[in-house]
Amino acid sequence: MPMAPVQTAPAPAGETKRPAAPMQSARGYEVKGVLQLDGPLKHGDYVWKDDGVPPGELLITVDLTAQTLSVFRAGYEIGVAVILYGADNKQSPLGTFPITQKNKDHVSNLYDAPMPYMMRLTNDGVAIHGADVKWGSATHGCIGVPTEFAALLFAQAKLGDRVIITDGQMMQLGDGVPAA
């Protein structure tokens, strides 16, 4: 069965803006290589290829418009996944965030929901975590990724690693992106 691209829709007119992130930094990040995909990814899909990629700084980018999360190590993309993100009434924030907490077996104290491989981004509960990523689903502001992908990311990520959440800005080969 051919894979269908992730469907996206423009934001409705008059939609409120997402809050900006508190962390600001002038450090840039250069993309040296991106994964070559066989075709578009669909909900629940991910690719992880880190063989031969040198150790180095980890950067996670999230594009809410494309509904994807990319993981870069030493400037090379090592993982990409289709995501879930915040529903209209509880939007995912935009900006740059450090990973401030990690918990493999976290359960949300607000929603009593499992959040496997949780990597916290904000003090009000927004995190990257494992989820059943399927069409039509959303989160309460978190970034949900396939649980197997979350386990791989959790093993690589450290406290303080940067996560850049955008709404349409994608990193391309050779791009340098400020971390703000």
In a domain? residue 2 = no
CATH for 47: 2.40.440.10
Record the pTM.
0.78
Complete DSSP assignment for the chain: -PPPPPP--PPPTTPPPPPBPSB----EEE--B-PPPSS---TT-EEE--TTPPP--EEEEEETTTTEEEEEETTEEEEEEE-B-B-TTSPPPBEEEE--EEEEEEE-TTT--EEEEEEE-STTS-EEEEE---TT--BSS-EEEEHHHHHHHHHH--TT-EEEEESS----TT-EEE--
Q: Which residues does the chain have with pLDDT short of 50?
A: 1-26, 173, 175, 177-180
The total of structural domains in the chain comes to 1
| Amino acid found at 18 | R
In a domain? residue 87 = yes
- Which range marks the domain in which residue 130 is found? 28-168
142 is known as an active-site residue:
yes
- Confidence (pLDDT) at 160: 96
In a domain? residue 7 = no
In a domain? residue 16 = no
In a domain? residue 163 = yes
- Confidence (pLDDT) at 138: 59
In a domain? residue 80 = yes
In a domain? residue 19 = no
In a domain? residue 179 = no
